[in-house]
Amino acid sequence: MKYRIRIAAIMLLAGHALVAGQAPPSQTPAAPPGPETPTFRVQVDYVEVDAFVTDAQGRFVRDLKKEDFQVFEDNKQQTVSAFTLVDIPVERAVRPLFAAQPVEPDVKTNARPFDGRIYIVLLDDLHVQPLHTQMVRRVMRKFILEKLGANDLMAVIHVQGRTEYSQEFTNSKRLLLAAVDKFFGKAERPATVEAYQQYLATIGIPGAGISDPMVQKRAFDARNTLEELQAIADWFGGVHGRRKSILFVSEGIEYDIEDVFGKQDASMIMDRTRDVIRSATKSNVSIYAVDPRGLTDMGDIGIELNSAPASGGVDSDGNATGLTEQQVQSLGLRGLQNELRLQHNSLRTLAEETGGFAVINTNSFDNTFSRIVEENSSYYVLAYYPPSPKRDGKFHNIRVRVNRPGVTVRARRGYANPSGKAPVVAASTPGALPAEIREVLDSPLPVSGLTMQVFAAPFKGTAPKASVLLGVEIRGKDLKLAAGDKLQLSYRAVDAKGKYQGGSNDTVTLNLRPETRALVEQAGLRTLSRLELPPGRYQLRVVADELNTKLVGSVLYDLDVPDFSKAPLSMSGIVLTSVTASRVPTVRPDAELQQLLPASPVGTRVFPANDEIALFTEVYDNAASTAHKVDIITTVTSDEGKVLFKTDETRDSSDIQGKRGGYGYTARVPLKDLTPGIYVLKVEARSRLGAGPTADRQVQFSIAEAAAPR
């Protein structure tokens, strides 16, 4: 599979109910209300249809019932087996009022089932002119910054860019923007421009014609892009019960597929286009095609056509051109406009045939992006069992009708049955993880069920690797806690190329004394472990499985591991503990931190007003060979930007004896004078050497409202 986020193609099968926002079917954990998801028997042989219904003013109609809909397959009405209204709010990240951007959380949890929108952005570098690179970056930055909700997930893929340029599913705008900023257009010059340059080179040569010397390269690029798009659509089909969208950012296929006789690869590209549509409709995936050029007449490209060739078969100097009148016209702006028409047609076809729409010939990206968000926020999901579930590859038309006058329905137009033999599930090898755990571990989406929160902090380790502290806290009331109950924790670090770089499988047997059991039921359970990882960008995938009940949960955690040996001054992650949060029993304390903190690190970021925080971090000084001092300052800033707590101390490079090393730093922060609300804890190190390099870390936390008296 060419899917450039190199994750295993493990589908979120309904058999384990590992769909977004759901736990395995054998469990019924309490969860906040969210969009419903249709559930079916284990075999995934149903057909889902997303229906977007609007009134005459273009507003979404929210009060329809199951009986208001009719679904037809191949003109025969079907029985709708499941029906739900999905209505997802666009949430904004909570940020301090004084900050321009939210502080990225250093703790992730699956306490709330995933209920946001899911986007995959495919950046078609093979079909974007290099001089339009900034347009792509600007357009997609706008979508991410202004339209992506805090409850959404997005992945970014480059068709031909380096694998590490892509970004796994995340809601971190920082990481998504970094992936977009790596984009660079690589499209060949338009065929009209190439032919014009050939014309200039052959003026005066009797009988010389013109042609596009890059025609085979264009066919190759078209095939690559369409195959990538199809692979994504196929993979995306494993997510059920919600709308799935591909934002296809491209200037369109640069190949004249209408010239079947003149272009030898035209039929092949038409077939590849049909394959994309078949895969997208089979997987219930909508494609939104976005032309980053906006409103254009190809004028910026047309400046390369300095002067059109003369008509009548001779140029302005009287030299024979060997061109027909039609060829003469094709070398001017008319030829470019014809290419633009073909490009836009390719984008319209991919979008409209899959239930999306094409964003072309408009500079009003704000309105069209809002429309994309709206269509992915509010819609109806209808599902039925197909009358002919054979694996024959046959395409079936779908039509959705609403029994209410004056409304418009948009839905996918059909689907294709799978073909060939059903895939064989490989048998598990002795000692391997159970299949359901492998699926959760390989899944790019978090799974709710066993509630947990995860925190991680990178520290300098044995060169060239860092030592990453990983903390996992399990909610106590989710655990059975019977004698001999076992909890399995599996975690993997997936690097930017999609490869596993570290991880482990740990089993904890919960033989607890009565008093400890009562405490775990109330406060939960914590485990700490270490991973040795080289510098880089990772996604930590952490899965917890209570083996006796088969209750499973997972958390995805975005982690940056710095190269602590490079920067003049750098800082490890920050770990926190507190008087109240430290009451959570820790199964496996961290030996290194036991000597540095009064209690084990904790994942909570909500503290009572009478609590006290203790923190630890390390500051790494790579310029210690020159005598100097380093100031380390800790502050707590209120939501309004007022510094309510500050402490500082000074370290001397002689403390590390002139070598590259670190200053261990601890501080205590009393919370007794803080009122309920949002605060930012910041630790900053400032070197007094030279230009005064700095390093800092920030943690957002809250003071909870006092509990009401009983």
Span 66-71, mean pLDDT? 96
Q: Encode pLDDT of 265-276 as tens digits.
A: 888 898 999 899
Domain 567-710 belongs to what architecture?
Sandwich (2.60)
Span 472-490, mean pLDDT? 88
Of 31-40, 423-432, 458-467, give the range with the top mean pLDDT.
Answer: 458-467
How many whole angstroms from its chain centre is CA 80? 32
Domain boundaries in the chain? Answer: 567-710
Q: Encode pLDDT of 339-373 as tens digits.
A: 899 999 999 999 998 989 999 999 989 999 999 99
pTM (2 decimals)?
0.86
pLDDT at 430 over 60: no
pLDDT at 216 over 80: yes
In whole angstroms, what is the distance from residue 707 CA to residue 411 CA?
49
Q: What is the DSSP string of 388-423?
A: ---SB--EEEEEEEESSTT-EEE---EEE--BSSPP
Torsion of CA 289, 292, 293, 295, to 10 degrees: 60
pLDDT at 304 over 70: no
Lowest mean pLDDT, pick from 7-21, 147-161, 341-355? 7-21
Q: Encode pLDDT of 660-676 as tens digits.
A: 778 999 999 999 989 99
Span 380-390, mean pLDDT? 88
Termini Cα distance of the chain: 60
136: which 2 tokens?
């792509």
Could you tell me the strand order of the sheet in which 452-460 lies?
107-109, 452-460, 466-474, 525-533
How many whole angstroms from its chain centre is CA 232? 13
pLDDT at 103 over 90: yes
Distances (CA, A) of 75 to 45, 401, 411: 20, 11, 15
Confidence of residue 440 (pLDDT cuts 50, 70, 90): confident
Span 135-156, mean pLDDT? 96
Torsion of CA 620, 622, 626, 629, to 10 degrees: -20
Q: Encode pLDDT of 504-543 as tens digits.
A: 888 888 888 888 888 998 889 999 999 999 999 999 999 9
Q: Encode pLDDT of 226-241 as tens digits.
A: 999 999 999 888 777 6
Q: Encode pLDDT of 274-286 as tens digits.
A: 899 989 988 889 9
In whole angstroms, what is the distance from residue 448 CA to residue 420 CA?
34
pLDDT at 154 over 70: yes
Q: What is the DSSP string of 264-301?
A: TTHHHHHHHHHHHHHHHHHTTEEEEEE-TT-S--SHHH
Lowest mean pLDDT, pick from 244-248, 434-438, 563-567? 434-438
Confidence of residue 416 (pLDDT cuts 50, 70, 90): confident
Q: What is the DSSP letter of 320?
A: B
pLDDT at 10 over 50: no
Angle at 683 between CA 456 and CA 459, to 5 degrees: 35
Residue 15: what pLDDT?
Answer: 27
In whole angstroms, what is the distance from residue 496 CA to residue 5 CA?
8
- Percent share of the chain, pLDDT over 70: 84
Lowest mean pLDDT, pick from 100-104, 170-174, 403-407? 100-104
Lowest mean pLDDT, pick from 27-36, 50-59, 488-497, 615-624? 27-36
Span 547-564, mean pLDDT? 92
586: which 2 tokens?
């820790």
Mean of the per-residue pLDDT values for the chain? 84
Residue 14: what pLDDT?
Answer: 27
Confidence of residue 254 (pLDDT cuts 50, 70, 90): confident
Helix (H) or strand (E) holding 220: helix 215-236
Residue 315: what pLDDT?
Answer: 52
Residue 276: what pLDDT?
Answer: 93
SS3 content of the chain, % helix, strand, coil (to 5): 25, 30, 45
Residue 312: what pLDDT?
Answer: 47
Distances (CA, A) of 41 to 81, 439, 441, 515: 11, 19, 23, 42
